[in-house]
Structure 1
Amino acid sequence: MKLAKKIGYIILALILLIVISGYLFVQLHKPDYSGEKKLLNLQNEVQVYFDEYGIPHIYGQSEEDAFRVLGYVHAQDRLWQMELLRRIGSGGLSEVFGKDLIGTDKFFLSLGIDEASKEAISKLDGNSEGVSIINAYLDGLNQFVEEGPTPVEFYLTGIDKTKFTITDVYNTMGYMAFSFAMGHKTDPLLSNIKDKLGPEYLKDLAIHSDSSTVWIRNYKKSSKDSIGNSVTAMVTDALSKLKLPLFEGSNSWVLAPPKTKNGKVIFANDPHIGFAQPSVWYEAHIETPTYSKYGYHIAGIPFPVLGHNRDIAYGMTMFENDDVDFYYEENNPDNANQYRHNGTWTNYEKVTKSIKVKDSVDVEFTFKKSVHGPILNGIANQIQGERPISMYWVYTQEENTVVDAFYEISHATNLSEFTSALPKIHAPGLNIMYGDAEGNIGWFATAKLWQIPDNINTKLVYEPDNRPNDNREFLKFEKNPQAVNPPWNYVYSANNQPDSVSGMLYPGYYLPENRAKRIVQLLDPKNDWDKNDISSMILDVNSPVHLEIAEDLMSSLNSKELTEKEIKVLDVMKAWDGTYSLDNIGGTMYTRWVYYVLVNTFRDELGEEMFKQLLDTHILKRTIAPMIANENSIWWDDINTSDAKETRETILRNSFTDAISSLEKDFGTDTQEWTWNKVHTLEHGHPIGQVDALRSFFNVGPFPVEGTREVINNLAFPYDSTGLYKVSSGPSTRRIVDFSDVENSISILPTGQSGNPFSEHYKDQAEMYVNGVFRKMMMNKDEIQKSSEMLTFIPNEN
């Protein structure tokens, strides 16, 4: 008995020891939101007030001090995220996650992001204000690396913390630029379709601009009148499994004073980015005698990509221009190390790289480069056949001043200073949105655009006898699509086709008109908008385009041929108003029906692999509406049947039956059970959360969520055979700045401010987000001081 008691006491003591150790570990590894810290190279004391959502409000006597502190507090919340993002462009993911990422690392190393970063850095003026701020930010970040607690992810993956450099800042920006480029997914796929099936199969795909859809209108007037996938299928798949944010689309609109109730500009922006945990943006409010900004920062980049103060607000959507081109190179038949260039045989440049691999030996590989870019054969698994294909990417081919641009944008005090920075953004292509307290509004398509000859199709791999000249003629920035203070009193972007001031519709991978049409439909008739109206609009989940498509689908059915069960389902569809609320049924049936239309239309010709690649492109999104309305498309025939040619009506009818059978299998025969909340869910995945045992600790969700693909509240998902629409991307923040009441402007993050799972701010906004709730972006110092914890940074004199 005594022995049993002793064993019991020992077990109890061990349990107590584990609990105490666990508690101490958590406490020691949480971010510090109060107290005092010494910081090297700090000139004066800096106060940081963390509000109830963990957002730092930094008050310093100089910008360098403030950004030095920003680097530290950013790192204590997001060091793991910083680590992953800097590794992508430099091919360092295999060192963390092992051999499965070797292919991804090879691809990114061949893109040349790291070399482009180093070249850009070599041209920097080390004494400039922008570089000084970057170095100050890195100084604070690296002091946390040296002195702060190690994030738990570093223990779990077995990697060491190392200091960050300015090259890491540029590499992270390069990764961001890559994730914008839809051409990586699209051009080789379209060439494969053309080669496999013939050019006639491209005619019914929405490759080029449709003049019947909603375009973004340009507007210019004189200043005196102014008032103020296939290539990267494996890469995309790998990054999505790691739950790293990929940039997808976005909405933004800015209303001029005549459109608002209070006679001041209202600015709205919700960039659409792949969901991940932590989410992409880190909010920080900085005040110094020379700088004031409430900004949204990407991990490892000091300058806010989105921001506002009492004078101006700015944000972005993706331009979706075509900045990637592929070339068939012609090898010398007598020397595989040479290719034809300007009529002569020219030596390929050979590049050798080494990749560190976790739990394995380093991998060394060599690839070739032509004047156009890297040869992808042997690097990207999807490049098949013997013909070498090179890839030209504007980001790495042209001078890189993107970081400089964001420094200048974040320091602009008026419209003139703001616009002068925009030509420095060569890639990625962005729609930069602007509004200010003086009543000015603006939209600017920022990218380095070239004059494309009429005989060139940028959506296909260039043949040797039909390609652009190597010395491209780039347009002056003034020729880019843009609108400043237009007479219709608003500007907007929903990644749709822009008009052009130079008489040319610039090719791109634009999204369909769905969101644009709804935005214009809501904005045009109303002239008394306020912040509450805008917050309702940014949450809108109605699609007039989906209703039009549903009408086309239903009109193809002959009611006399339908069963009683099918007529009941059709009645549900007829009653649907195009809204994707949690309890709606019509949206569930519509989405399942469209999926089977796509399967029964495209998969027989393309095969499974190419069909999956098509599902992941913007072109397919643009193709759905015109394809379903087109009775004579070559795609309707099922090539697997030897009987009479299938018609549009046959495919749509069969797809209707398939959709009903699928929903009955999943949810039973009672149509009232086919509600949207059962199929449309959002879970924010963490890279470590992909391990089942750690999922509940690192991941956030899942939550049933309103919205769908291509509504304003664009909570998108990949189409697949599961019938479960697991949201993969959507608003990375919803943000509204009202210049009639700037201090009560509002926003929300998808999960929380912190990427540290031990922080109370790891997921404290997640349920607010899915419920459409906003919180204040605080800027009033008195209010901030009353409701915040304070962490003081003082100079370390040692």
Structure 2
Amino acid sequence: MRIVKKLLKYVIIFIILVVICAYFFIQHLKPTYEGELNLASLSDKVEVYYDDYGVPHIYAQNELDARRALGYVHAQDRLWQMEVIRRLAAGRLSELFGEKLVRTDKFFSGLGIEEASAKTIANLDKNTEAYKQTIAYLDGINQFIKKGPKPIEFYLLGLDKEEYTLTDVYNVFGYMAFSFAIAHKTDPLLTEIQEKLGADYLEELNIPIYKNSTLLKNEVNPILEKDLAQAVTDIYNNVPVQPFIGSNSWVIGAKKTKKGKVILANDPHIKFGQPSVWYQSHIKTPNYEMYGYNLALTPFPLLAHNRDYAYGITMFENDDVDFYFEINNPENENEYKTPNGYETYKVIDKEIKVKNSESVSYQIKVSKHGPIMNDIIDHISDEQPIAMSWIYTQLPNKLLEACYGLSHAKSLYGFKEATALIHAPGLNLMYGDVDDNIAWFAAAKLYKLNDSVNTKVILDGASGSDEIIEYLDFTQNPQAINPKSNYVYSANNQPDTIAGVLYPGYYLPEDRAKRIVQFLEAKNDFTKQDVMEMINDVTSAVTPTIVENALSSIKAEDFNDDEKKAIQILQNWDGSYHLNSVAPTIYNRFLYEFLGNTFEDEMVESFELFLNSRVQRKINAVQMAKDSSIWWDDVTTENRVETKRDIVTKSIKDAISFLEKQLGNSPKQWTWNRVHTLEHNHPMGEIAALRKYFNVGPFEINGGSEVINNLTFNLDSTGYYKVTAGPSTRRVIDFSDIENSTTILPTGQSGNVLSPHYKDQAKMYTNGDFVPMLLNEDKIKGFKTKLVFKVDN
């Protein structure tokens, strides 16, 4: 008995020791928000005050010290995020996650991002402030790597810390630029529709057909093979980093605000994930101040404001990627045809290291247009080589200088000069200042091809007739400075003519743009509170018209009483997506059935790609307004040609039948909150046992697709609308009360799961609330959470 008691005593002591060790180990992994730390290469001490939401307010005597401190505090909150994004762009995710990411690594390593980064770095002017401050920022990150703890994700994956370099910074720029591009998800799909269904089908999708477009004879056949667009979409679905997808922004001039000062609003739309995309910081020196939002591994903010000016971004959606069919030399597959004879492909050897498996070696062929996509994406059905020409890798890269210039402008003119340095990705830069200037600049290096070239399909790489013939000067880019309307806005919609034509792109439908304009035209006394409510608006300006056009084709006698009740709900709907609304649930299921009944019989396997593409989102209103269409006919039925009435009637019946089985017989039960949820997923959350620790949510949430509070989801057979993307932050900057401008993040400031700021904003974000962006020094220095960096010589 004594032996048992002794053993029990030792077991209890051991358990207590384990718990104590675990406690101190966990405490060691948390970010250091207060106390004193030594930081090498400082010229003077730096004080960092953390506010209630974990935003560092950095007070330094010069910018180099401030940027070095920023690197350190950014890394201690977001090192895991930095690690994932740098590996993505370099094709190194398989080292973390194993064989399932080989396809993704092969794709991104083959795009030429690393090669473009190396070329840019070799030609950098190392005497510029942009370069010096970037090196200081990287030094701060690397000092944390040496002194600070590894994130818990590193322990779970057995990962060692590696220092960061300038190449990593430029690789992140490259990933950002590619995630803005849309052509790789669209052009191959449209090419396949053109070649396998014919010109009439493509033209009805509002895609222009030109006289010299290469067309096969009009012969209707099913689309069966997996193409480039589907392959790229599959790759993106496995990427553990959030790509950009859209955005809203508007700037209201002084004459339209109640207090006579400019108000700027911005909410870039990005795929949700954990941690949130943006890291906030406030830097103050005797000569400089900026409250900014940085991406991982970017030293200068893409969204920012101070007491003098504010700026934000949306996606321009211009077409900066073109695909070309190359023709190989039948005698030598290492050569391809050009107007001047055959040229030799450049061949690049690549190797991917794979966790718990052998490395994968492969080669990429590169033509004058760019990498051959067949070499880096498996399952491309076309045997003919397809090259990707991407402006980002084709032209000199000045993004670092541009980002520095945007965040250091002394005037609107200086801001415009910095904007002109951006060649890719295509961005709308939105601007407002304390002197009552407002502006919008479309930033991108735009170009022209021959008028007969259709950039929405794969081009002819061999003839020379489809090449770029002219780069446009920045003065020809869409832009507006202090317009008579007293506002500027962007919602990823089609800009006005450029060089006399509507510039090709992958612009989103007019829904959000129309709603924004409705608000801005309605009054001339906007307040910050008005704009905060507007940025959370959940009413579609277009959907009621879509419903009206659809229901105009049906007949009451075709429906039973339950179906008529559901139709009545749709007829009375104002387009709002509230949690207790029933109409959004009916409409989105109807839309899914309508798209399937209209397009799936012709597209077959490619329908799933089309279903959640930009093309589908733009065509809905157009297709629903048509009385006749080649797409109405179901090609699988013999001796019958279906009409719009047939398709809409069947779609309503299919939708109601599905909802009765899914949610119950009474439409009162079909509320939006039952099917529309948001969960912020962390890569570690894929492991079931870790999901509740790393993921944030799920939450029921207001909003829907293409309303101002734009919450994107995939339409699929499930009948559930799990939000995948939306506002990555909401910001409202009011120059009449600059010290009390407001913002919110989707989850929190920190990416460290042990930080109190990992998810402290998540419920507020879901509720449409805001937190302050502090500039007042007295308030900031009143916070007790203070970290001091001392000079370490």
Read off the aligned partner of 2:537 and give its amino acid letter. D
Q: What does 1:621-640 correspond to in 2, within 5 Å?
A: 621-640=617-636
Give the match for residue 709 of structure 1: 705
Give the match for residue 640 of structure 2: 644
Give the match for residue 115 of structure 1: 115
| C-alpha deviation, 1:232, in angstroms | 5.3
What do residues 452-507 of structure 1 show as CA deviations (whole Å, max 9, x unaligned)? 32101000101257665646410000000111100010000000000025211100
- Aligned pair in 2 of structure 1 residues 652, 7: CA closer, same or farther (>3 Å)? farther
Give the match for residue 346 of structure 1: 343
Cα distance in 2, alignment partners of residues 84 and 67 from structure 1: 22
Give the match for residue 435 of structure 2: 438
Compare 569-578 and 756-765 and name the one that shifted more: 569-578
Q: What does 1:81-230 correspond to in 2, within 5 Å?
A: 81-207=81-207
Give the match for residue 601 of structure 1: 598
Secondary structure in 2 aligned to 1:33? coil
- Aligned pair in 2 of structure 1 residues 262, 588: CA closer, same or farther (>3 Å)? same
Cα distance in 2, alignment partners of residues 374 and 785 from structure 1: 53
Give the match for residue 753 of structure 1: 749
| C-alpha deviation, 1:9, in angstroms | 3.4
| C-alpha deviation, 1:10, in angstroms | 4.1
Give the match for residue 274 of structure 1: 271
Read off the aligned partner of 2:420 and give its amino acid letter. P
- Aligned pair in 2 of structure 1 residues 127, 593: CA closer, same or farther (>3 Å)? same
Read off the aligned partner of 2:481 and give its amino acid letter. V
Cα distance in 1, alignment partners of residues 234 and 385 from structure 2: 24
| C-alpha deviation, 1:545, in angstroms | 0.5
Read off the aligned partner of 2:586 and give its amino acid letter. M
CA contact (8 A) 1:276 1:685 kept: yes
Give the match for residue 318 of structure 1: 315
2:673 to 674, 677, 681: 677
CA contact (8 A) 1:242 1:687 kept: no
- Aligned pair in 2 of structure 1 residues 467, 667: CA closer, same or farther (>3 Å)? farther
Secondary structure in 1 aligned to 2:699? strand
Give the match for residue 689 of structure 1: 685
CA contact (8 A) 2:326 2:462 kept: no
What do residues 367-425 of structure 1 show as CA deviations (whole Å, max 9, x unaligned)? 21110001111322352122111110000011111111001111002101100111110
Give the match for residue 733 of structure 1: 729
Cα distance in 2, alignment partners of residues 208 and 427 from structure 1: 25
Q: Structure 1: 5+ residue runs without aligned partners?
A: 210-228
Cα distance in 1, alignment partners of residues 390 and 526 from structure 2: 42
Cα distance in 1, alignment partners of residues 350 and 164 from structure 2: 21
| C-alpha deviation, 1:551, in angstroms | 1.1
Cα distance in 1, alignment partners of residues 269 and 465 from structure 2: 33
Read off the aligned partner of 1:104 and give its amino acid letter. T
| C-alpha deviation, 1:544, in angstroms | 2.2
| C-alpha deviation, 1:16, in angstroms | 2.5
Compare 54-63 and 373-382 and name the one that shifted more: 373-382
Q: What does 1:345-494 correspond to in 2, within 5 Å?
A: 345-464=342-461, 468=465, 470=467, 472-494=469-491
Give the match for residue 36 of structure 1: 36
CA contact (8 A) 2:267 2:729 kept: yes
Secondary structure in 2 aligned to 1:524? helix
Cα distance in 2, alignment partners of residues 108 and 269 from structure 1: 29
| C-alpha deviation, 1:2, in angstroms | 4.3
Q: What does 1:4-23 correspond to in 2, within 5 Å?
A: 4-23=4-23
Cα distance in 1, alignment partners of residues 676 and 169 from structure 2: 36
CA contact (8 A) 1:376 1:389 kept: yes
Q: Structure 2: 5+ residue runs without aligned partners?
A: 210-225
Cα distance in 2, alignment partners of residues 113 and 517 from structure 1: 37
Q: What does 1:58-73 correspond to in 2, within 5 Å?
A: 58-73=58-73
Pair 1:658-2:654 in alignment? yes
Pair 1:786-2:774 in alignment? no
Secondary structure in 2 aligned to 1:795? strand
Secondary structure in 1 aligned to 2:522? coil
| C-alpha deviation, 1:108, in angstroms | 1.1
Cα distance in 1, alignment partners of residues 568 and 783 from structure 2: 53
Give the match for residue 217 of structure 2: none
Secondary structure in 1 aligned to 2:712? coil
Q: Percent identity?
A: 53
CA contact (8 A) 1:242 1:686 kept: no
Count of matched residue pairs: 777
CA contact (8 A) 2:268 2:728 kept: yes
CA contact (8 A) 2:104 2:238 kept: no
Give the match for residue 618 of structure 1: 614
Read off the aligned partner of 2:352 and give its amino acid letter. I
| C-alpha deviation, 1:159, in angstroms | 1.8
What do residues 526-549 of structure 1 show as CA deviations (whole Å, max 9, x unaligned)? 100000000000000001201111
- Aligned pair in 2 of structure 1 residues 464, 125: CA closer, same or farther (>3 Å)? closer
Cα distance in 1, alignment partners of residues 759 and 207 from structure 2: 40
Give the match for residue 222 of structure 1: none
Secondary structure in 2 aligned to 1:373? coil
| C-alpha deviation, 1:647, in angstroms | 1.2
CA contact (8 A) 1:230 1:613 kept: no
Cα distance in 1, alignment partners of residues 13 and 232 from structure 2: 49
Secondary structure in 2 aligned to 1:111? coil
| C-alpha deviation, 1:196, in angstroms | 1.4
Pair 1:543-2:537 in alignment? no
CA contact (8 A) 2:531 2:732 kept: yes
2:719 to 706, 720, 723: 723
Secondary structure in 1 aligned to 2:43? coil
Cα distance in 1, alignment partners of residues 784 and 644 from structure 2: 62
Read off the aligned partner of 1:554 and give its amino acid letter. L
| C-alpha deviation, 1:433, in angstroms | 0.3
Cα distance in 2, alignment partners of residues 500 and 629 from structure 1: 25
| C-alpha deviation, 1:194, in angstroms | 1.1
Pair 1:504-2:501 in alignment? yes
Cα distance in 2, alignment partners of residues 88 and 468 from structure 1: 35
Read off the aligned partner of 1:64 and give its amino acid letter. L
| C-alpha deviation, 1:561, in angstroms | 1.9
- Aligned pair in 2 of structure 1 residues 7, 233: CA closer, same or farther (>3 Å)? farther
Cα distance in 2, alignment partners of residues 196 and 530 from structure 1: 54
Cα distance in 1, alignment partners of residues 755 and 469 from structure 2: 51
Give the match for residue 492 of structure 2: 495
Give the match for residue 570 of structure 2: 573
Cα distance in 2, alignment partners of residues 684 and 208 from structure 1: 39
What do residues 190-212 of structure 1 show as CA deviations (whole Å, max 9, x unaligned)? 10111111121101113369xxx
Cα distance in 2, alignment partners of residues 642 and 584 from structure 1: 40
Cα distance in 1, alignment partners of residues 405 and 369 from structure 2: 31
1:533 to 530, 533, 537: 530
- Aligned pair in 2 of structure 1 residues 319, 289: CA closer, same or farther (>3 Å)? same
Secondary structure in 2 aligned to 1:582? coil
Give the match for residue 80 of structure 1: 80
Give the match for residue 224 of structure 1: none
CA contact (8 A) 1:232 1:380 kept: no
Give the match for residue 299 of structure 2: 302
CA contact (8 A) 1:104 1:234 kept: no
Cα distance in 2, alignment partners of residues 2 and 604 from structure 1: 80
Read off the aligned partner of 1:259 and give its amino acid letter. K
Cα distance in 2, alignment partners of residues 650 and 382 from structure 1: 37
Cα distance in 2, alignment partners of residues 765 and 508 from structure 1: 35
CA contact (8 A) 1:103 1:235 kept: no
- Aligned pair in 2 of structure 1 residues 600, 618: CA closer, same or farther (>3 Å)? same
Secondary structure in 1 aligned to 2:641? coil
Cα distance in 2, alignment partners of residues 42 and 150 from structure 1: 24
